[in-house]
Amino acid sequence: MSELTGNCLIGQSGGPTAVINASVAGAVTEALNHECIEEIYGCRNGVLGILNEDLIDLAAESQQTIRALKHTPGAALGTCRYKLKKQQDFDRVLEVFKAHNIRYFFYAGGNDSQDTADKISKLAQAQGWEMRVIGIPKTIDNDLPVTDHCPGYGSVVKYICTTVRELACDNAAMGQHDLVSILEVMGRSAGWIAAGSALAKRRDHPHDPPHLIYLPEVAFTPEKFIEDVRRVLKRERFCLIVVGEGLVDPDGNYVSTSSAQIDAFGHSQLGGAGDYLRGLVEQHLGIKARSAKLGIVQRAAAHCASKADVEEAFMAGAAAVKAAVDGVTDKMITLVRGESDQYVCETGLADLSDIANGVKMLPREWINDDGVSMNQQFIRYALPLIQGESVVPYERGVPVFARLSFEPVERKLPGYDLL
């Protein structure tokens, strides 16, 4: 391993989570420990900030602010969904890196972001620019391969389970007659988040809500749905349903396509599965149904974040810096679960290229045969991820979050035309 001296750059990309800032806090905190890292920069809005040479001096932020990042949702550096495509874009990135002597690049994001980091690293190697690139995992969707789970997932699940428990109290109060309530949660192509709502059930209380969980992994038919609801209402005073936004019919089409739009990465932007189910209940069963759609509220709910998740996100950020200083490059930090019964989590490494193009599906064998509930294997997997309560400071009745001072790094290059 050769010692590499220079500056580091930290970026965030993709959809924000409740804990992606904790990863930045971890990376900054760790970077301060290493003399080979001279300046600690952040790029605003991911690769857009690199292209625009819009860098900030993270070492100039107060320690208070860096610490507060641990409980601040969103993405404090700003994020983007911009996809580097043209060779010119990649050349510009390298030009900015060279101008600012960036020798360490840490990029927190999902698979698209790890793909970007991978491509940047390969280009740097091709051009003989010595640098180390380490990805930091991030996604509420929990769909990155290799890593046991993803920072961000535990917190969204904890918030949804809290919501389900509370909704259950409300629904039970009104339960003198049939009542169906539907909670739509995120999850574009995998049901990890909807599945997580199963943790709201008490151990050995199979009748606890949620009574029905609809996952994108299980083809949806209105006929079975109506039967499912009927069955629940025969034995319970109300029926609480959690549905993932990406629900599909047997042909693989989204059940609710009315608001489907395609984003820059070719992903459909969904919504409306909850209202669709509500319509089915009212139309076919003549029963009052209520739906709620948490939307992006759920991924921002830092006030209800999992302490385990916050700590692992921080650890992943710190581990990225440690690995790079140790000479590692082209890897993403993974979370590795210990073998023992007692949950322990350490970090590991995976090739960026393996992350970039893989997706981890919710294992079919963790879904019960009824298609609408999760088995003990899933519970064992997910339960440790929501443990502990993150503490958020309140001022005048509302949570207070970190606000970066965004000390700009002086520009050294002419401007760049994004178009």
Residues in touch with a copy of itself (CB under 8 A): 12, 16, 45, 48, 72-80, 158, 161-163, 165-176, 181, 183, 199-200, 203, 261, 269, 271, 288, 290-297, 299-304, 306, 383, 386-389, 394, 396-399, 401
326 catalytic, yes or no? no
- Compute the least distance from the CB of residue 251 to a copy of itself, in Å: 26
Closer CB to a copy of itself, residue 202 or residue 412?
A: 202
Surface-to-core class of residue 240, CB atoms within 10 Å of its CB (0-12 exposed, 13-18 middle, 19+ buried): buried
Half-sphere exposure in the Cβ direction for 112 (13 Å, CA): 20
Is the Cβ–Cβ distance between 256 and 284 less than 8 Å?
no
Q: Name the burial class of residue 114, with classes exposed (0-12), middle (13-18) and buried (19+) by CB atoms within 10 angstroms of its CB.
A: buried
User: Considering beta carbons, is residue 1 or 169 the nearer one to a copy of itself?
Assistant: 169
Instruction: Judge whether 101 and 108 are in contact, CB under 8 Å.
Output: no
Q: For a copy of itself, which is the closer residue by CB, 137 or 271?
A: 271
Please identify, using beta-carbon distances, which residue of 302 and 356 lies nearer to a copy of itself: 302
The distance of closest approach from Cβ of residue 122 to a copy of itself in the complex, given in angstroms and rounded to an integer, is: 26
What is the rounded distance in angstroms from the CA atom of residue 241 to the CA atom of residue 299? 20
User: Beta strands of 97-140 (E only): which ranges?
Assistant: 102-109, 132-137
Q: From the CB of 153, what's the least distance to a copy of itself, in Å?
A: 13
Phi-psi region of 186 (alpha: psi -120 to 50; beta: other; left: phi over 0): beta
Least CB distance from residue 208 to a copy of itself, whole Å?
Answer: 11
Minimal distance, residue 230 CB to a copy of itself, in Å: 21
Residue 294 or 374 with smaller CB distance to a copy of itself:
294
Burial class (CB in 10 A: 0-12, 13-18, 19+), 290: middle
Q: How far apart are CA 187 and CA 185, in angstroms?
A: 7
> Are 114 and 15 within 8 A, CB to CB?
no
Distance CA 231, CA 373 (A): 14
Annotated catalytic residue, options 54, 118, 141, 148: 141
**CB of residue 266 vs a copy of itself: minimum separation in angstroms?**
15
Beta strands in 263-372 (DSSP E): 268-269, 289-293, 331-337, 345-351
Min dist. Cβ of residue 48 to a copy of itself (A): 6
CB 310 within 8 A of CB 390: yes
Query: Is the alpha carbon torsion for 292, 293, 299, 303 positive or negative?
Result: negative
Q: What type of residue is 410?
A: E
Nearer to a copy of itself, 166 or 370 (CB): 166
How long is the chain?
419
Active site amino acids: 141
